[in-house]
Amino acid sequence: MRAQGFLSSKPGSQNSKSVKARRRLSIFLIAAPALLLAAGLSLYALKGQAIYFYTPAQLINADVPAGQTVRLGGLVKPGTVVKSTDGSTAFIVQDKLKEVAVVYKGDLPDLFREGQGVVCEGVLAAGDRLTATQVLAKHDEKYMPKNVSDALKKQGEWRPESGMTASSAAPDKPFGGA
């Protein structure tokens, strides 16, 4: 019996394996730079569209330049909500370390109230003041729409000891459906 040589041309020999390996390597060497180029172009295109999220302490410590669009998240400081006759509302968003004044002109969300979590998106003005273009109110994890709690009660799955509270102001149909 004779051992297979390195230059044997039989299928399954080292020579055919190296041809497959070279083919895979050449495909990789073509595809990898193309994928890297596509990823780089995508990141470059999105560079100006990124909006950073800050807490009040992070915003003040980051020395964000005035005129930059940012998102600010924290709690509405109790006693600071002031509504003006021109339709604007001024309030202070705080975390445990710092506070940032916010001015918003428009209708506030139904869940907006003092002591409640908010996320404000807008342009940072001089003096660490945010002129918000959008205000989102956050609800706690215990919130449950009334129609969901009613459906759970109907199915026998309602567990009031879980701390979930049903909203009495929720619509009968989800998403405002008729």
Domain ranges of the chain: 14-47, 52-137, 143-173
pLDDT at position 84 is: 92
Which helix (DSSP H) or strand (DSSP E) does residue 152 occupy? helix 146-155
The CATH classification number of 52-137 equals 2.40.50.140
CA–CA dist 110, 137 (Å, integer): 8
C-alpha torsion sign, points 38, 40, 46, 48: negative
pLDDT at position 121 is: 92
Give the three-class secondary structure for 5: coil
Cα-Cα-Cα-Cα torsion 112, 114, 115, 119, nearest 10 degrees, comes to 40
pLDDT at position 172 is: 45
Residue that wins the pLDDT comparison between 147 and 80: 80
Length of the chain: 178
pLDDT at 82 over 90: yes
Question: Can you read off the two tokens belonging to residue 172?
Answer: 């009968």
Mean pLDDT of 83-94: 92
- Average pLDDT along the chain: 78
